[in-house]
Amino acid sequence: MSRTVLSDTKKSYPLTSVRFFAAFLVLFHHSVVFLPALNSRGDHHNPHDFLGVLSFSFSISVSFFFLLSGYVLSFVYLHTGQAIDKGKFFAARFARLYPLYIAILILDTPELLFTEIHRHRVSMGLTRTAEVFAANVLMLQAWNPLRLNQINLPSWSLCGEVFFYLCFPFLGVWLWKLQGRRLWLMMLVVYLGGQALFLTAIHHLNPITAFCWPVLHLSTFTLGILLARWQSLQQARQDKPAVRVLWANTVLALSFGGLILSIWLSPFTHVPGLYNNGFLAPLFAGIIWGLSAVSTPLSRWLCGKWLIALGNSSYSLYLIHMSILAIFLHFQWATPWLYPVYLALCIGLGLLSFHYFETPIRLSLVEWFQAFRESAKPNHEPAGSLSSENLA
């Protein structure tokens, strides 16, 4: 039985590729309007059968992204065990998230402006639009989603990511010191505490607010950090048994099977948004570990260059698909026959955005910040490279 361990570089390839599938599920969740066979099965927010539940449940990908974010950032920034250079960290995060986000925000705002003017006339419409736009620029929309999350709805999750980034240099360094029983105990406390906090909040907050509030997703991000810490400790052990392909495949099968089972059981939970606030984090952790711990047939397939390219464009796909969907809905093009055109357009623009817009701007911003630091501290050593993982 093969026990080939993935190198640190190749270990990230399957996780890069799987991001595309997670983003595609979010796209499918939002674009089910193209498919009457799914969209007509009762209220999409309260589906009546398995196909409707299946299409609605794909929003759980956001929790997967949160856990994966904590996992990847930990391996990139915490592996040395030293304090994080906060300037480099925040500059890299800004350069990765903001260029495309701001571009999409500017392109989508006119739609909100016309809607608000139609509802409240010119003066109030301009005021409301300015308020929402400013909140989105500052990444505050998820804290009051009913009022502020009005431009490109999936962007609420980026507000959560920014909140996690602010916590990471302090929270991550502290958690990275844990090991042994304390590490396992922290995992248990974080998971159960996060779920208890959500179940408490759901009785006091609007379900949409509870779904979007960044603080209620922090436990999922934290579990990603703890998973990375545990895996790094396992890799550092001299007496550790080699991870077998059979073990990884078993964990993957159980994790994917658990996801399918949870979707089938979701109508019986009667808890709004239960799966979207980290409840399935153990299954996501199993998928991440199974794809990164050892080389398996699935992980090798996910290392294909075309899949890695799609994975790199997952962020673009995540943001762009709603803007394209608005155009199709406006012209009443949301039909099954045009669905392949919509999908191809979203994926194609995502790839173009990553290679010809996001990457050049990100590298330019990183170089500018590095040059600024070096000029500000002429007597110190160069600030060093700020290149960041596309996966993060």
- What pLDDT does residue 6 have? 45
Reported pTM: 0.89
Q: ∠23-24-25 over CA atoms, to 5°?
A: 90
pLDDT, tens only, 4-33:
444 444 557 899 999 999 999 999 888 888
Q: State the residue for tokens 């009457």.
A: 36
CB-CB contact of 291 with 18 (8 Å) = yes
Torsional sign, CA 368, 369, 371, 372:
positive
Mean pLDDT for 98-106 is: 96
- What pLDDT does residue 130 have? 96
Question: Which amino acid is it at 12?
Answer: S
345 burial (CB, 10 Å; 0-12 / 13-18 / 19+) is middle
Alpha helices (H) in the chain, listed in sequence order: 8-30, 36-39, 50-57, 61-77, 86-137, 145-148, 156-175, 180-201, 207-212, 218-236, 245-265, 281-292, 297-302, 305-312, 314-330, 339-353, 359-376
Domain residue limits, the chain: 8-376
How many angstroms separate the CA atoms of 244 and 328, rounded?
48
With a cut of 90, say whether residue 80 has pLDDT above it. no
CB-CB contact of 209 with 51 (8 Å) = no
- What pLDDT does residue 7 have? 46
pLDDT, tens only, 294-319:
889 999 999 999 999 999 999 999 99
Phi and psi based region of residue 131 (left: phi greater than 0; alpha: psi -120 to 50; beta: remaining): alpha
How many angstroms separate the CA atoms of 205 and 188, rounded?
25
How many angstroms separate the CA atoms of 40 and 72, rounded?
39
Point out the least confidently predicted range of 51-55, 97-101, 184-188, 359-363.
Answer: 51-55
